[in-house]
Structure 1
Amino acid sequence: MKNKFAEQLSLALGRDKTLTQQQIADGTHISPGQLSRLKNGSRNTDPQIRKSLANKINDIWLKYSGARENFGVLSFQNDHRLQGDMFSALMKQREEQRQREKLETEFEEAITVKPRDRTPAQQLVIERYPREYAEEISAEITDLAKKAEYAGISMDKLQEVIDKVNRQNG
């Protein structure tokens, strides 16, 4: 059964016409067999190898798939009912954003309470918020990439912009 990273790796390898799978395997210090197993989802790997593969292939979708897998964050784009229906995806994203904003307010209220005085519900909100926030960032990046793709902006150009922002902001 393929995982999200395996699916994106398979797609990225199909899109990348500049490197052979042997060159990719050599450049990431894995065997071609291991690359094949990662591609078909029969083997999982650690975050460092996912990062190394994404950097070697330089595919924006693979990079964000790896990031989502590293942090356990699922994108709204994983909902198969919404694939291809950007309006439905946008509506779902907006509803999720409203829910996260509500959670953010609860989080901000909870962190103002001294730890020993927090209720179990407040502690749960504090534990849940970072994951929800990371998912928000992932959804925004996915939205940006989809809009750029629709507008005809190459993924290489979008990657340049993202890399520049990352260098500036860390």
Structure 2
Amino acid sequence: MRRVLFVVGVAVAVAGVGATSASAAPVGEFAYAAEAGATPLSGSARWVAPADEVGVWESGGAVKVDASSADGWDWARVELSAPAGEQLHEGTYVGARHRGQADPQLDSPGFFVARGTRSGALGCIDDQADFTISQLTRAGDGSIVDLEATFVERCGGPDAPAATGEVHFHG
């Protein structure tokens, strides 16, 4: 009986490996940790695909990172943008200011963050952030296929409690 179970177990494992490779699902992770009193990111959270949804896309000059639990009730969004007239590229951006989702690009780098749960959603209209893009690869059609980024965000001023986060996406 042990041999039969072993053979079935190996067959299932091999079939699983083939199915995972064939689907080529994106690999994504978004995580943050915040100092006491930080907002809208508080405490800590981590989303990892494929159990969670992690997506990266670009629109209106901003790279948008969306992360949510499988049921959609626990989510976060971060948007990173270069100063007006520039396209976001690898490098460190210092002094990023709040850039609303529908706002035009700013003279400085832009940053937007929102966090939501079953009880509601929070954002910050006084974001101050620094962020680093260590890898940013676009496909021929302009879509983002790889993103490695870190950020430090403060809501309300340079001395406000900080949230630090990181994004790893390889699609």
The TM-score with structure 1 as length reference comes to 0.21
More strand by proportion, 1 or 2?
2
The TM-score with structure 2 as length reference comes to 0.21
Where relative contact order (Cα < 8 A, 6+ residues apart) is larger, the structure is 2
More helix by proportion, 1 or 2?
1
